[in-house]
Amino acid sequence: MTTHSSEQGPRAEVDRLSWRLRAGMFVQDLGTWYSAFLRIRPSGPYEVFYNQDNEPPWDPEETDFLEEQELFPRSDVHQPDWFRRRLAANRAGSVVVYHDERDRQGIRLPPADVDDLVGPACAMLAENAPADWSTMVLTYRASSTVCQAEVVATARDGRRLLMAPPEEMHQVLRRLRGSMADETNGAWLSARFTLIAGMEPAVEFDYMQDPIWAPPVDPSVFVQDLQEFPRHPARVPEWLRVVAGL
């Protein structure tokens, strides 16, 4: 999905131009188009149709949907169900820790460590889900004083499911956050749990990016969090310095 040809010739040039067009049409949180159709008539104007949401008719086995999401990120509400499933399949069985905002690949931990870190939280989420759930994505924003959780879930037939994370999960995730904190990186600011029925869960912990609280929280929340989980100055991102008045 995000690869383009390095070969020479007209087709390679079309690939490169298409890549530049995708990048140029990217909109933050909305992503970019997945496929385009160009209709050229012998006479008269040409027409271009851009597919923003439907799964492309081709399916390269090596497509890295994680890379697609990193290069052209879409927020949860703008991710089609098919893309969310593909993304979950790429993430399955991994725990990713983002310590450096310059290296969004983070540190990938082997599948064997998943249960030790987040098994209880994932099990709790699955146990409280509707019986016909297919995929679930939990976004969790946290600080030392407040937390915020939202779940986007779909059924096997593609319906969007309404559900809230169990109340006990907040305590589990707060303990998990505290146990993962250290004097260099502080504590993670957000976590993302991706569950797809029949597959190992995938989890991401982000220490650097603005978690985008909705609604926004008071700046004092970040100040108190830094007091409880101090960081090395080099590990305080610029946006956090501004918000916390450092």
CATH number of the domain within which 171 lies: 3.30.500.20
Q: Would you say residue 194 lies in a domain? A: yes
Determine if the pTM surpasses 0.75.
no
Query: Which of 45, 74, 103 is at the close of a domain?
Result: 74
Q: Over the range 71-99, which residues count as b (16 or more CB within 10 Å of their CB) and which as e? A: bbebeeeebebebbbbbbebbbebbbbbb
Domain count, the chain: 2
Residue with the two structure tokens 């890379």: 67
Return the higher-pLDDT residue of 227 and 81: 227
**Higher model confidence: residue 239 or residue 108?**
239
φ and ψ at residue 238, rounded to 5 degrees: -60, -40
The most confident of the ranges 83-87, 145-149, 168-172 is: 145-149
Angle, helices 114-127/167-180, rounded to nearest 10 degrees: 170
Structural domain of 224 = 92-244
Q: What's the pLDDT score for residue 59?
A: 56
What does the alpha-carbon distance between residue 188 and residue 182 come to, in Å, rounded to a whole number?
A: 10
103 φ, ψ (degrees, to nearest 5):
-125, 80
Among 178, 181, 190, 180, which residue's Cα sits nearest to residue 137?
A: 190
Last residue of a domain, one of 16, 45, 74: 74
Q: Which of 14-23, 145-154, 169-178, 186-195 shows the lowest mean pLDDT across its residues?
A: 14-23
Q: 30-75 pLDDT, tens per residue?
A: 888 888 877 777 776 777 888 888 877 665 555 667 777 778 888 8
